[in-house]
A and B are shown apart, each in its own frame.
Chain A
Amino acid sequence: MLGTGILKGMVETAKNFAGSYHDPERLTTVEYPEQRIASKENARQFPFLVHDTEDPMKGLRCVACQICEKECPPQCIYIVKSKDKRADYKGQMQFYPATFDIDLSVCMSCQICVEVCPFESIKMDTEFELSNTDRFGGLLVNKHQLAKSNEHYRKIHPTEAAASDAVLAAETAKAQAKAKADAEAKAAKAAAAAGPVGAVASAPAPKPSSPAAATAAAPAA
C-alpha cells in the first residue's frame, strides 16, 4: 500500500527521538567544552620535542641532524644547527638546535617526522586546542614552546613511550660499554707509549666527534 514505507520510516524516527532521552546509544553527542571525551592513546595532533632534564633547553634530545626537516612532506620544519656541541643523554658530544620552528598552519600532523627521527627526540602531542589569535608569529611554534618533558610523553602515549625508553636505555648501555672498552684500550695504548693516534674504534653511532670519556664535558674536537 502506498504510504506504508513512509509510516515505517516514521516509526524509526520516533524510536530514535524517544530513545534519545534515555538510551546512550541514541544520544551520542557530548556538550563539548564542558564535557570532554578522553583522547585516544594513539591520537596525534602536533609534534613536540622531548627533553629529559629540568631545564628544557639543556635536555632536548634533538641533535639537529635535520632529517625531519628534509623528510617533512610540506616542509614546515625549520632548523638551525648550533655552532658548539654539548653532551647528550649518553654523554656523546652532539650539536643541538639553535632554532627549531614548526609552522603550525602548515603542519598536517602526519607523523613522518616522528618516524624518521633516529634519536627518539620528536613525538606527537595529543593537545588539539591549538587555535591562536595571532596569525603570524603565533602560528610559528619555536623550540621553547615545543619542548615537553619525557614524563609528558609517558603520560599521553604510555605504550609508545615505554618502547622509546627501552630503545634509549639500550643505546645508553651500548654507549657506556663502548666507552668503557675505549677507555681501557686507550689506557693500554698509553701504557704501551704509542703515538697520538687516538683510540677511535669503529663507531656505529652517527659520525660527530670521537667518543671521548663517557661523562666528560670537554669537547674533543
Chain B
Amino acid sequence: MTAPVDTSDPKQLGADTDGTQFMTFHDLAYDAGKTVFQRKAQPVGQGREGELLEVAMGPQHPSTHGVFRMDVVLDGETVVKLKPVFGYLHRNHEKIAENTSYLGSMPYTDRLDYFCSLTNNWAYALSVEKLAGLQVPERAEYIRLITAELTRVLNHTCLAGFLLQDMGALGTPLMYAFREREKILDLIESLTGARMMCNYMRFGGCRCDLPAGWLDEAKKVVAEYPKFLDEFDALLSGNEILMARTQGVGKLSAELAISAGITGPMLRASGVDYDLRKVDNYGLYSRYPFRVPLGSHGDVYDRYMIRMLEMRESLKILEPALKDIPEGPVVDPKAKLRGFRPKPGEAYGRIESPKGELGFYLISDGSPNPYRYRVRPPSLINLTILEDMCLGQTVADAIVTLGSVDIVLGEVDR
C-alpha cells in the first residue's frame, strides 16, 4: 500500500515497483559525494608466502564488541584472509527453550540482543501468537510499535557511538550517544521495570499497561531527540576524518548482500530496498508513512548514514503513534500465563529488528514446551560476510567494518 509522501522535496524521494517509498541520502546535504580519499585496493600477498602473519584478534579484544575472534592473516598491514570465530558466548538458548515453558523463554529472549530486548520479545511473541492463534488488542499493538521504534532509535544511537569508538574517537561520540540513550532507557524502565532485560511482551499483548504520565514523557523525549541527531550530524556526519576512514571501506555489493542473506540496515546500505516493516506489514506499520533510507555504495559510511536516517524516520513513526494510541486492554483475555499449550503445528514469526530480520521458528507438539525452537539471528548472518568485506584492506579498516555490521554477541552465539 502506498502511503502519502512529502513530495515537496523530490530529491529525497523515489518510488520503486511495489510502491514503497525510499530515499537515497547521497542527494542530501551530507552528501557522500565529497569523498575525501580515493582508495586503491592493495596488492595482496604476491610472492610473499611465508611472510604472512596470522593474528588472532579477540576474543578479548576491545574492538570486537564482546567475545568474538577474528583470525586475520596479514601481509604487512593488509588483510589477506579473515576467519570470524564465534561461539564464546554460546549458552544453549535454543535447547534451554525447548525444555522450558513458552513463557519461560521470554526472559531469555531479552538476552539475545541485549540492546534491543523489546524487539526480541516482539518477534518471539509474534511467532507464538501465530502458533496459538492469539489476537493482540489494539492498544497493545500500539505499545509494541512504540517500544520497538524506541528500541530502534536506542540501538542505532549506540551503534553510531560504538562505531566511532572503533575508529578511535574514544569517548566523546559514545558518551553523547549514551547520554541520549539514557533518556530512552528511563522510559523503558518506567514501563517495563528494567532497563535492558525488559521481559515485557506476552503472548497476546503486553505484560502491563503504560504507567500514568508515560505517554507525556515519551512525547517529550521524542520531540527532543531530533536536536540530538542534529548535534550528532554536526559532530560527525560531515567530519572529514570520519569520511576518510569510512568511505570506500568494507564495500558490500548488492548481489553479494542478497545472496548471503544479509538483512537490515546493512542490506539497505548496499542499495537493496527491503524492509520487513514494509514487506510484511506486521503490527501497525502500514498506518504510518515512513521512508526507507537506501545507500548506494554499500560502504561503512553508508551504513553509518543509514542508521542516522533511520532514527529520524523512526521518530516520524513515533510522534503520531504516541498521539493516536487508544485506550483499551493490553492483553488478549484468551491468553493464559500458566498451562499454555498451543495446538500442534509450526510457525515462523519475523520482524525487522534494528539489526535485521529477527525470526523465531517454533514447532509445537501440543506439550507445554516447544518441540523445536530456532532463532534466526540477524547479527550472526550479517557477520558471515565479514571476510568478503575486509579482504585487501588494512587491519584498522577491518575493525571499522566489523563495527559497522552491528553485532551483539549475545545474539550471534546464543
Contacts and interface: CB of A to CB of B under 8 A. Distances in A.
A109 B194 contact: yes
A124 B212 CA distance: 20
Interface string B239-261: 11111000000000000000000
Contact of A9 (B186, B189, B211, B239): B239
A6 B240 contact: yes
Given A8-B238, A9-B236, A108-B107, A159 B243 contact: no
B300 interface: no
A127 interface: no
Q: Which of B36, B179, B207 has the most CB of A within 10 A?
A: B179
Contact of A28 (B108, B182, B241, B338): B182
Given A6-B240, A41-B190, A13 B104 contact: no
A43 B172 CA distance: 30
Interface in B118-177: 172, 176
Interface stretch (A52-60, A93-101, A110-118, A187-195): A110-118
Secondary structure of the B contact surface, majority rule? helix
A8 B235 CA distance: 6
A9 B199 contact: no
Nearest to A9: B235
A2 interface: yes
B388 to A, nearest CB: 30
A38 B287 CA distance: 37
Interface residues of B, number: 39
Contact-size category for A: 20 to 34
Contacts of B199: 110-112
B104 A112 contact: yes
B280 interface: no
Interface in B175-194: 176, 179, 182, 186, 189-194
Contact of B101 (A13, A28, A71): A71
B107 to A, nearest CB: 4
A16 interface: yes
Given A5-B243, A6-B240, A111-B199, A12 B108 contact: no
B231 interface: yes
A3 interface: yes
The 6 residue pairs across chains A and B that have the minimum distance between CB atoms: A5-B238, A110-B107, A73-B104, A44-B193, A42-B193, A12-B235
Given A73-B105, A159-B211, 5 more contacts: A5-B240, A41-B190, A73-B108, A110-B106, A111-B207
Interface of B: 36, 100-101, 103-108, 172, 176, 179, 182, 186, 189-194, 197, 199, 207-208, 211-212, 231, 234-243, 337-338
